[in-house]
Amino acid sequence: MGNSIKEAISIMKPKQIFISILAVLFVFPLMGTIAQQAPNSVSITVITTFDYPGTVISTQPQKINDRGTIVGIYFDSLGARRGFVRFSNGSFSAPIVEPNDTENFTEGRGINNSSTVCGDYVGSDDNGHGFFLSRGTFTEYNITNALTTLMLGINDVADFAGTFSLTGPNGIFQAFVSLGGNITSFSVPGAISTFAYQINNSNQLLVGYYIDSSGILHGYFRDANATLHFPIDPSGSTGTVLFGPNDRNWVVGRYADSSGVTHGLFFVPPNFFFTFDYPGSTFTSLNGINAEGFICGRYRDASGIEHGILARVTGVMPANEGGTEMKAYDSPSLVIPLNPLSPVTPLNAPSPATPLTPSPSAWRGEMPAS
């Protein structure tokens, strides 16, 4: 995707340390200035922090289902990327390694209430490919004619979302969503690339981010009428990523500011923003939220190690009101998947896999935000 698309943009620069927090609340219109403390009383409290067992330098939770099961990614000390599941009792699955992964690169990106996992891996062709994992069985998923397909989120009725590139990992990415087995691709108008991260069970809200012509990241959401709302940026943002909604249309993500600090973000469409920072850390990311308001994410400590977070948002949420963001009706083009999704069945923890010898790849460092 090129250097401008890499997480070298300050939004992807983690740094320090975190525990349990009341964040100060700000509500402001999309294009407006920061207001004084709002009448809405909202707080985010960290329940626990965690790390995948072993010699791990980064634990990156991605999504959380309504049972409290978390899917994510970890990096080991040799640089291998592996998926994982953290169960609600605090135990972990064995590393998730797609059988065709030849580059030490498998990511767990989404999980539903049946514990079906979706994600991506890099194969011998040095391209990314999507997969579903259910009951220990992997099913590969690729968009027709695409060299790269990344699966980023799945809901409870087996609708799913992601991104693909016809020319490979350094090409232009388009978002896609599968609703009832029908695949629709779309892009935010004028965007270099568009990424779709998660759709909720009601299909009322799909969220993600896009990269504009200047290489800046902005959030967007797509409503039930397929209308795209963009840009979604809190005041002072130099780059915004939206990762996931729940069935209440509460959204989590992160944004960076001009000082290089990355903040966790809680967002209620169209224009309610709430900033959350883990104490002492200059990098906080909120990646997934379930129906009860439990949130998974991560922070980076002073030594550069990234740790998982389990938190919860509580308080009085604002009523949905009209926003000032731009709107566009996407002009969908239909694409047919190579491998239709099999019926969704519960996941059993996958068997351990022996890591391969790490090897350099043009793919590394060029994934969509995690």
Average pLDDT, the chain: 82
Distance between CA atoms of residues 128 and 147, nearest Å = 7
DSSP per position, 37-91: --SS-EEEEEEEEE--SSSEEEEEEEEE-TTS-EEEEEEETT--EEEEEE-TTS-
* Predicted TM-score (pTM) of this structure: 0.81
Structural domain span for residue 237: 3-334
Residues 6+ positions from 82 with CB-CB distance below 8 Å: 73, 74, 75, 76, 95, 96, 97, 106, 355
Task: Establish if 302 belongs to a structural domain.
Answer: yes
Task: Establish if 361 belongs to a structural domain.
Answer: no
Task: Establish if 233 belongs to a structural domain.
Answer: yes
Distance between CA atoms of residues 203 and 186, nearest Å = 16
The CATH number given to whatever domain includes residue 238 is 2.120.10.30
Distance between CA atoms of residues 119 and 96, nearest Å = 10
Q: What is the pLDDT along the chain (370 residues), one digit of tens a residue?
A: 333 333 322 333 333 222 223 343 333 333 222 222 333 589 999 999 999 999 999 999 999 999 999 999 999 999 999 999 999 999 999 999 999 999 999 999 999 999 999 999 999 999 999 999 999 999 999 999 999 999 999 999 999 999 999 999 999 999 999 999 999 999 999 999 999 999 999 989 999 999 999 999 999 999 999 999 999 999 999 999 999 999 999 999 999 999 999 999 999 999 999 999 999 999 999 999 999 999 999 999 999 999 999 999 999 777 555 555 667 754 443 333 333 333 333 333 333 332 222 232 222 334 599 9
Task: Establish if 347 belongs to a structural domain.
Answer: no
Number of domains in the chain: 1
Phi, psi of 316, rounded to the nearest 5 degrees:
-95, 120
Q: What is the DSSP letter of 36?
A: S
Task: Establish if 32 belongs to a structural domain.
Answer: yes
* Beta-bridge partners for 313: 44
Task: Establish if 40 belongs to a structural domain.
Answer: yes
Contact status, residue 151 vs residue 131, Cβ threshold 8 Å: yes
Task: Establish if 366 belongs to a structural domain.
Answer: no
* Beta-bridge partners for 206: 199, 222
pLDDT score of 317: 72
Task: Establish if 329 belongs to a structural domain.
Answer: yes
Beta pairing, strands 182-186 & 333-334: antiparallel
| Closest by Cα among 161, 163, 139, 138 to 149 | 163
